[in-house]
Amino acid sequence: MISALGVNQPTGSCDDPLCPYHGSLKIRGKLIEGMVEGMKSRKVITVRREYYFYVKKYLRYEKRRQMIHARLPSCVSVKVGSKVLLAETRPIGKNIAFVVLGERVS
Ligand SMILES: [Zn+2]
Residue-wise pLDDT for 3-55, tens only, equals: 667 888 888 889 999 999 999 999 999 999 999 999 999 899 999 999 999 99
Q: How confident is the model at residue 1 (pLDDT cuts 50, 70, 90)?
A: low
Burial class (CB in 10 A: 0-12, 13-18, 19+), 45: buried
Q: Compute the distance from residue 65 Cα to the ligand 1 centre, in Å.
A: 29
In tens, the pLDDT along 43-97 reads 999 999 999 999 999 999 999 999 999 999 999 999 999 999 999 999 999 999 9
The pTM of the full predicted model, rounded to 2 decimals, is 0.88
For residue 106, is pLDDT > 90?
A: no
Q: What confidence score (pLDDT) does residue 2 get?
A: 66
What CATH number is associated with residue 40? 2.40.50.1000
For 52, the domain range is: 2-103
Q: Compute the distance from residue 49 Cα to the ligand 1 centre, in Å.
A: 24
Q: What confidence score (pLDDT) does residue 6 get?
A: 83
Q: What confidence score (pLDDT) does residue 8 get?
A: 83
C-alpha span between 45 and 49 (Å, rounded): 13
Q: Compute the distance from residue 55 Cα to the ligand 1 centre, in Å.
A: 42
Contact in structure between 60 and 53 (CB atoms under 8 Å): no
Terminal alpha carbon distance of the chain: 19
Q: Compute the distance from residue 10 Cα to the ligand 1 centre, in Å.
A: 7
Count: domains in the chain: 1
Q: Compute the distance from residue 9 Cα to the ligand 1 centre, in Å.
A: 10
